Amino acid sequence: MKKRFRFLEHTADAYVEAYGASLEEAFENAALASTEVMTDVEKVEALTEETFVVEASDEPALLYSWLEEVLLGFELKGKLYSRFEVSGIERISGGFRLRARAWGEKFDPEKHPSKVGVKSVTYHRMEIVKKPESVTVRFILDI
């Protein structure tokens, strides 16, 4: 299995680097890494599906808003996600739109070990690096 993300050195927060062959795949792996910060993602079953539509003014804001939606799913609905499919990122008037689906289940403290709580996504050190064959995104989660 190819490497999907890794955690970089940071003194206090979770600094994540996620990869993909496309921007969509890099965003999927960024969301997966965000869940891994909170719990062991392999213990989260893909039992229910949710649809997301996120809009933002630019690609970094789109990454921020996408990850925020994933975190809000946990904070507001008690949902954890273990599988993500970003079906498209398109340029629209005034910015970008992301369409995605995520699969997961309700948080169960008996089944899903807590690692650390994520307070928020940040723009600090956020970057999107596009190369002909790959995309890398980096971001920090405030924990």
Going by C-alpha positions, the residue among 28, 119, 115, 45 that lies closest to residue 75 is 119
**pLDDT value of residue 81:** 98
Token pair for residue 36? 């891994």
CB distance 135 to 126 below 8 Å: no
**pLDDT value of residue 11:** 63
Domains contained in the chain, CATH given:
5-142 (3.55.10.10)
**pLDDT value of residue 13:** 86
Q: Could you read off the pLDDT of 91-143 as tens digits, one per residue?
A: 999 999 999 999 999 999 999 999 988 999 999 899 999 999 999 999 999 98
